[in-house]
Amino acid sequence: MSTSKTRERGAAIDIRDATKRYGKFTALDNVSLHIEPGEFMTLLGPSGSGKTTTLNVVAGFTDLTAGDLSVGGESIVGVPAHKRNIGVVFQHYALFPHMTVGKNVAYPLTLRGVEKGERERRVKAALDMVKMADFAHRYPSELSGGQQQRVALARAIVFDPPLLLMDEPLGALDKKLREWLQLEIKRIHRELGTTFVYVTHDQEEALVLSDRIAVFNQGRIEQIGTGRQLYDEPATLFVGKFIGESTTLRGKAETSGDETGLTIAGQKIVAKEKLAGGETPVILLRPEKLSLAAAKAPITNGQNSLAGQVSEAIYLGSGSKYQVVLRDGSIAVVRSSLEAKPFTIGDEVDLRWSVEDSKLLADDDRADMTLT
Amino acid sequence: MNQTIDTTTAGGSDPRPAGRAASEPRRWRLADYPSLLTVPAILLLIAAMAYPLLTIVLRSFSEPEWSLQNYVWFFSTPVNLTVLARTFSISAWVTIVCVIAAYPYAYLMTTVGPRMRLVLIMCVLVPFWVSGVVRTLAWVILLQDSGVINSTLKAIGFSSIRLIRTQTGVVIGMAQVLLPFMILPLYSVMRGIDLRLVQAARSLGARPALAFLQVYLPLSLPGVFAGAIIVFILSLGFYITPALLGGPRSTMLSTLVQSQVLSLLNWGRGGTMGVVLLVSTFVLLAVAAPLMRQRHKQASRS
């Protein structure tokens, strides 16, 4: 199977200036999102951020207050859900309890008037794809959660929709099963070439699965990009904190040339960036860019240093993770490799990192909302 | 249970008297015999159900002498058979009217907000708390030839219709009295149906009407059956409403039993009618049972 050929089976999605209001509450605020044919796009965000609303709008379960939505180049605003030909996988499986697995998967084909022989062939192919062919005569209540979700996936792809929507499909499953099914979903996406839109609040899951991720917060998209872009170059403080682990530093700021300096508890640190005027700068640091040194150890050129005390030391096998309380009371998270000198709780240390690794962002109180 | 006897310390410094567990009889506890909790209910059932029922069955064979005379009489008297058939047909109509009236009502109860749901539940329960006699008398006022319905019909230019002392009147009155028995079981089943199943059906290509017929309706049928059985069986034995709203052409079996036992003091024939009704109900349930057996377990809401 050549990639370009299978990708033709997926449909492009265009969401333009989509707004959805429930009374005074704005669930979606002017959201625009373009998804390429065959792309795996994840809508990531905390609960109530608008990601599920977006999915429901595309599925046809919810109408937009304003804006436009097109799939495969044609506007589907006002088209009822049953005429959209979009596969949907729900968090709680939504298998029909009064039908066997085989009947569940055959249901969309029966509705489309596919004749019996062809129907049976396609049901078997879909169940084969999710490795559930031996269970066709069982009822959903006789299956485990993971098995039910695989059947739900088979049912959503059996009619070859150009677009598959998944609403936290692994949310109700335990971690091991979730990790295995993530790889299964990735494989199925590769084999089908269908456009996948996947909703989750789990940033690790988003990183594992997606070609690109759209990060939602309070009804808006904060940033769209690959996992690497979101992690290395977050556009907002919210994205920086939501994706992966991070340390944020705040202090008295001054700009000189292209550099921004921050004074924290009497110590000055530098970032090789500057913000547009009027915004309060915050420095965001990734744990693997940080290192610990014994207090007052000599500093190499181009490094920042902040004094602190180790408050937690966790051995992870592949390395160690430390929490360091800085002089201003903020907490830094550090990951160090096995070769690095180990520290224990209570050690006075200097937190070190390269000036280039200081990511300067505008402070934003919306980034501090509790994450689910 | 920390009463195992340690033989190595017996007679030693252990302060526990040796063999305490054996010498002291174990205290009798109700918790060890949970089935005893059903004794009051069983005694009541024996006294109020089993004993009278047995008496009636025996007397249907034994009065005035031991033979099948009463059953021969019952099945050879056309009026008895007519009334038996009518009892079943009126009960069937009442059940149908209740299903049709209760289904949308119970569905509405599952979709509205909590406050509106309370109002709807009260609307069901308040008439339930009013005695059946009072409600039936209210229907007399509404249905009689000079009653509210007929005077309204006349006022807007229609000719009056006979409602009281007709089977229609009896069905209307009984359906109203029995409606809560249909709504409540239906509601409890419908409340457990995940509405996302209907959404799923729609995403798979089903028109809203089809999604309802193929997904929601089959899942709600256990509630329909449960309510229908209760309503049907209660209808079979209804006495007050048919007696007050019905006429000679809508007599039900309970009225015949009443006249045999209380007016003619013929306990044998009265008992026979009761036994016939009971047995035919069982036969009907046995025939209907395979229809109601669920092949799937209801999906529990997580």
- Per-residue model confidence (pLDDT) at position B160: 82
- Least confidently predicted of A112-121, A136-145, A254-263, B40-49: A254-263
Q: Do the Cβ atoms of A82 and B203 come within 8 Å?
A: yes
CATH code (residue B268): 1.10.3720.10
Instruction: Encode pLDDT of B179-224 as tens digits.
Output: 999 999 999 999 999 999 999 999 999 999 999 999 999 999 999 9
Structure tokens at A311: 């408050």
**One domain for residues B54 and B201:** no
Residue B124 lies in a domain: yes
Instruction: Encode pLDDT of A3-24 as tens digits.
Output: 444 445 789 999 999 999 999 9
Residue B8 lies in a domain: no
**One domain for residues B280 and B241:** yes
The answer to whether residue A113 neighbours chain B at the CB level (below 8 Å) is no
pLDDT band at A369 (very low <50, low <70, confident <90, very high): low
**One domain for residues B32 and B96:** no
Please tell me the distance from the alpha carbon of residue B180 to that of residue B230, in angstroms, as a whole number: 10
Cα B159 to chain centroid distance, Å, stands at 37
Mean of the pLDDT values across residues A110-134? 95
Residue B283 lies in a domain: yes
**One domain for residues B178 and B100:** yes
Over the range A319-337, which residues count as b (16 or more CB within 10 Å of their CB) and which as e? ebebbbebeeebebbbbbe
Range ranked top by mean pLDDT from A89-98, A251-260, B15-24: A89-98
Residue A167's beta-bridge partner residues?
Answer: A199
The nearest alpha carbon in chain B to A107 belongs to B204
Mean of the pLDDT values across residues A116-142? 95
Instruction: Encode pLDDT of B273-282 as tens digits.
Output: 999 999 998 9
CA-based nearest distance B206→chain A, Å: 5
Q: Do the Cβ atoms of A98 and B295 come within 8 Å?
A: yes
Which residues of chain B are within 8 Å of residue A139 when distances are taken between CB atoms? 295-297
Residue B70 lies in a domain: no
Given a cut of 70, whether residue A357 has pLDDT beyond it is yes
Residue B275 lies in a domain: yes
Which residues of chain A are within 8 Å of residue B216 when distances are taken between CB atoms? none
Q: How far is CA A93 from CA A58, A80, A152, B199, B298, in A?
A: 19, 22, 6, 12, 14
The answer to ipTM > 0.85 is no
- Per-residue model confidence (pLDDT) at position B296: 55
Residue B17 lies in a domain: no
pLDDT band at B31 (very low <50, low <70, confident <90, very high): confident
Please tell me the distance from the alpha carbon of residue B239 to that of residue B17, in angstroms, as a whole number: 70
Given a cut of 80, whether residue A229 has pLDDT beyond it is yes
**One domain for residues B41 and B171:** no
Q: Do the Cβ atoms of B207 and A82 come within 8 Å?
A: yes
- Higher pLDDT among residues A340 and A235, named by residue: A235
Domain boundary pick from B62, B88, B119: B62
Q: Do the Cβ atoms of B199 and A85 come within 8 Å?
A: no
Helices (H), B2-131: 20-23, 39-45, 51-62, 69-76, 78-111, 114-129
Q: Do the Cβ atoms of B296 and A87 come within 8 Å?
A: no
Instruction: Encode pLDDT of A161-184 as tens digits.
Output: 999 999 999 988 989 999 999 999
**One domain for residues B283 and B194:** yes
The nearest alpha carbon in chain A to B195 belongs to A94
Which residues of chain A are within 8 Å of residue B214 when distances are taken between CB atoms? 107
| Domain with B112 in it | 78-292
**One domain for residues B45 and B135:** no
- Least confidently predicted of A138-147, A220-229, B36-45, B282-291: B282-291
Taking the CA atoms of A24, A25, A28 and A30 in sequence, report the sign of the dihedral they define: positive
HEC readout, chain A: CCHHHHHCCCCCEEEEEEEEEECCEEEEEEEEEEECCCCEEEEECCCCCCHHHHHHHHHCCCCCCEEEEEECCEECCCCCHHHCCCEEECCCCCCCCCCCHHHHHHHHHHHCCCCHHHHHHHHHHHHHHCCCHHHCCCCHHHCCHHHHHHHHHHHHHCCCCCEEEEECCCCCCCHHHHHHHHHHHHHHHHHHCCEEEEEECCHHHHHHHCCEEEEEECCEEEEEECHHHHHHCCCCHHHHHHCCCCEEECCEEEEECCEEEEEECCEEEEECCCCCCCCCEEEEECHHHCEEEECCCCCCCCEEEEEEEEEEEEECCCEEEEEEEECCCCEEEEEEECCCCCCCCCCEEEEEEEHHHCEEEECCHHHHCCCC
Which residues of chain B are within 8 Å of residue A119 when distances are taken between CB atoms? none
Over the range B134-169, which residues count as b (16 or more CB within 10 Å of their CB) and which as e? ebbeebeebbbeebebbeeeeeeeeeeeebbbbbbb
Contact B245, B189 (CB under 8 A): no
How many domains are there within chain B?
A: 2
3-state SS class at B75 = helix
Interface test with B, best of A96, A109, A167, A168 (most B CBs within 10 A): A96
Given a cut of 80, whether residue A300 has pLDDT beyond it is yes
**One domain for residues B43 and B176:** no
Residue type, A100: T
Q: Which of B206, B211, B298 sits opposite A97 (nearest CB)?
A: B298
Q: Which of B202, B298, B302 sits opposite A92 (nearest CB)?
A: B302
Mean of the pLDDT values across residues B123-144? 86
Q: Based on the number of CB atoms within 10 Å of its own CB, is B75 exposed (0-12), middle (13-18) or buried (19 or more)?
A: middle
- Least confidently predicted of A144-158, A245-259, B81-95: A245-259
Q: Which of A80, A107, A172 sits opposite B204 (nearest CB)?
A: A107
Please tell me the distance from the alpha carbon of residue B139 to that of residue B173, in angstroms, as a whole number: 6
Long-range contact set of residues B290-296: C-beta below 8 Å, sequence gap at least 24? B291/B225, B292/B221, B292/B222, B292/B225, B294/A98, B294/B222, B295/A98, B295/A139, B296/A97, B296/A98, B296/A99, B296/A139, B296/A140, B296/A141
**One domain for residues B103 and B179:** yes
Please tell me the distance from the alpha carbon of residue A283 to that of residue A281, in angstroms, as a whole number: 7
**One domain for residues B227 and B251:** yes
- Per-residue model confidence (pLDDT) at position B23: 57
Over the range B293-302, which residues count as b (16 or more CB within 10 Å of their CB) and which as e? eeebeebeee
Instruction: Encode pLDDT of A29-87 as tens digits.
Output: 999 999 999 999 999 999 889 999 999 999 999 999 999 999 999 999 999 999 999 99
**One domain for residues B222 and B119:** yes
Residue B69 lies in a domain: no
**One domain for residues B111 and B220:** yes
Percent of chain B at pLDDT exceeding 70: 88
Q: Do the Cβ atoms of A87 and B299 come within 8 Å?
A: no
Mean of the pLDDT values across residues B221-234? 92
CA-based nearest distance B94→chain A, Å: 29
Domains of chain A, start order: 3-241 (3.40.50.300), 245-368 (2.40.50.100)
Residue B68 lies in a domain: no
Domain boundary pick from B38, B62, B86: B62
Chain B residues at the A interface, defined by Cβ less than 8 Å, are 194, 196-197, 199-208, 210-211, 214-215, 218-219, 294-299, 302
Domain boundary pick from B37, B62, B87: B62
Please tell me the distance from the alpha carbon of residue A345 to that of residue A247, in angstroms, as a whole number: 19
